[in-house]
Amino acid sequence: MRSPLVRWSVVSVSLALALTSCAKGTGGGAAPTPSAGQFNPGATFSGSISVMGFGATDEIGTTRVDLAEKALGGAEIKLIEGDLDIQQFLSAVAAGDPPDIIYANRDQIGTFASRGAIMPLTECIKGESIDTSMYNKNALGQVTFGEQIWAIPEFNQVQITMANGDLLKEAGLTIEDVNGSDWSKVTAAAKKLVKAPGGKLKVIGYDSKLPEFLPLWAKANGADLLSADGKKAQLNSPEVVKALEFAVGIYDAQGGFAKVKAVRDSADFFGKGNQFAKNELGAMPMEQWYVNVLNDVSPKAPLVFDTFRTPQGQPLAYSSGSSWAIPKGSKNPGAACRFAKTMTLVDTWKAAAQARLDKREADGKPFTGVLTGNVKADAEIEKMLTSGGEPWDAGVKAVYEANANTFSLPANPADKEFKDAWQGAVNRVLNGQDEPKAALDKAQQDAQKALDEAWAGWTKRTN
């Protein structure tokens, strides 16, 4: 269930230089729209298409790639495995020799579009008769920029609350104390659950999952980090400052972030020695794919699940995930479009889910589902779920409830710089370099400057 994450292979300064250089090399403007004649649902393709950033390493991937290759009618699919290397990709675009299609995080699509590194998919969607209504609206929003769609959503990720039931019971707590519905209870629970004999942290009471989950805590407190039109940073609003103070305060109550991170990083996260199985973690919000990991490696762990909730008790999740984009200069955009379409069709996802279901049943394990960027596929896959008993059924229920209550950050031409700004602010607070208000004030300035410059550049180029 876990989708690959885009790897940034160079430090921020070097990457910024690479982006600027590559944008210049591609003309520094928005990519031209391919002609409608390149996209035809009745066409067949020969030769091969290169796919960068995607590894079909399990039955979910291999089943879909096989169907996509069949849909191409003869063209061979060549996978360039491993996470997307941004520098390598942009250099290939600048050199006029890009892959035919890339697999990228949705929160990078705006930057790629603004740099002229990818094509708008207007003619692809029209020519291949792609029904965009089947895609998750938040996922589609993350790849819609300048009134055009620039990528096709793939997997979707949401968060739910995961907790160790034995540790909760021992501390006189329940899942309601740690699901986010009462922030004072979460702080109190962290203090009750933490174990640090002799000052050495042994058990994390509660992990608020910073820096990655600041958007989730901020939204729970009624704030968006970015305006709906993607033009105004809102990083230092009182609600965001309060959310950061709270989430950092949870670490402070347990001896500080450094101690928590040391225990977090030492865990066998994907193995039998994970923190829940070894009673080293009380609770945390976490992406839904981890439910499947835990069921695989520690099915007897004393787990309890719920949705992540707002202080008003409502389910909430931050939608993120992967997508398919066609680079500028793709030698076979028609085949690339057909590939992206087929990989994300309802029937393709159902076939992949069936392959996963068959494998799980053969192993005597429940099928806990797959979350996609396709809402119609999700509805069909949900019908295929099999019971694993408790706590797994409760976990799966929480996943689907979370998936129905998501938000996302809108696409913008400074996606990367904006994310760097708020994550940098959180890291400075976690490292003791800044107080939350000061860190977010600086981040606000940096983010707004990046947004203003990027939007001005986009307007100039597109006009």
| Closest C-alpha to 427, from 247, 194, 203, 184 | 247
Which residues, in sequence order, are bridge partners of residue 281? Answer: 204
Which residue has 């990228």 as its token pair?
Answer: 104
Peptide bond just before 391 cis, omega within 30 deg: yes
H/E segment holding residue 363: none
Contacts of 370 (CB under 8 A, 6+ apart): 1, 60, 155, 349, 352, 353, 356, 381
Q: How far is CA 373 from CA 272, 337, 400, in A?
A: 30, 16, 13
Sequential pLDDT tens for the chain (463 residues): 333 333 333 333 333 333 333 333 333 334 434 444 478 888 889 889 999 999 878 999 999 999 999 999 989 999 988 889 988 999 999 999 999 999 999 999 999 999 899 999 999 999 999 999 999 999 999 999 888 999 999 999 999 999 999 999 999 999 999 999 999 999 999 999 999 999 999 999 999 999 999 999 999 999 999 999 999 999 999 999 999 999 999 999 999 999 999 999 999 999 999 999 999 999 999 999 999 999 999 999 999 999 999 999 999 999 999 999 999 999 999 999 999 999 999 999 999 999 999 999 999 999 999 999 999 999 999 999 999 999 999 999 999 999 999 999 988 999 989 999 999 999 999 999 999 999 999 999 999 999 999 999 988 887 7
**Residue 292 · residue 363 · CB < 8 Å:** no
pTM of the entire predicted model: 0.88
